[in-house]
């Protein structure tokens, strides 16, 4: 994990890879809980038997938004910003899902600080985040994630 002391120090990281998170194993239980929370019970996520019979993926896959929802957890392993009152998720500029994330796979985040722009009371940070799947050549998700940090 990289720790920065305040937004001025963070400014020096613009354009650099910040780091890579630990691997996170995707479980069917997590996918089922996510399906319950989001009311998205599509069979390609929650029906392992049907997936083995009918899915081109050979088994259940994670929801794309599940993958994206891992961003706060995985990014917290990559970067800590000291000297601020709070950081909040501000949204996304772009997101794509170039390949599936199979249940049972391991996923991690790789983050680059693309921009840090002043806003009233703090700064807006744009991170390019790639969600990598172990032993898979394409990322499962790529996104421009925006956080606001308030000093």
The set of residues, in sequence order, having a beta carbon less than 8 Å from that of 21 and lying 6+ positions away, is 74, 75, 77, 78, 108, 109, 110
Q: Which two tokens stand for residue 117?
A: 């722009």
- When divided into structural domains, the chain yields a total of 1
The helix/strand count (H/E) of the chain reads as 6, 8
Question: Could you tell me which residues are beta bridge partners of residue 107?
Answer: 24, 133
pTM of the full predicted structure? 0.94
Q: What is the pLDDT of residues 8-64, one digit of tens each?
A: 999 999 999 999 999 999 999 999 999 999 999 999 999 999 999 999 999 999 999
Binned at pLDDT 50, 70 and 90, residue 151 comes out as confident
Binned at pLDDT 50, 70 and 90, residue 71 comes out as very high
CATH of residue 32's domain is: 3.10.129.10
- Is the pLDDT at 2 greater than 90? The verdict is yes
Q: What is the pLDDT of residues 74-103, one digit of tens each?
A: 999 999 999 999 999 999 999 999 999 999
Instruction: Domain of residue 63: give its range.
Output: 2-150
Separation CA 142–CA 37 (nearest Å): 23
């Amino acid at each position: 994990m990289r720790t920065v002391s305040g937004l001025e120090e963070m400014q020096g990281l613009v354009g650099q890879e910040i780091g890579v998170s630990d691997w996170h194993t995707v479980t069917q239980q997590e996918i089922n809980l996510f399906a319950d929370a989001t009311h998205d019970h599509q069979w390609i996520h929650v029906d392992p038997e049907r997936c083995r019979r009918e899915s081109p993926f050979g088994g259940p896959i994670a929801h794309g938004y599940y993958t994206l929802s891992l961003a706060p957890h995985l990014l917290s392993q990559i970067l800590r910003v000291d000297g601020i009152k709070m950081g909040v998720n501000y949204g996304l500029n772009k997101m794509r899902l170039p390949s599936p994330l199979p249940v049972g796979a391991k996923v991690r985040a790789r983050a680059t600080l693309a921009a840090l722009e002043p806003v009233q009371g703090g700064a807006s940070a744009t991170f390019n985040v790639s969600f990598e799947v172990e032993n898979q050549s394409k990322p499962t998700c790529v996104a421009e994630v925006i956080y606001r940090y308030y000093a």
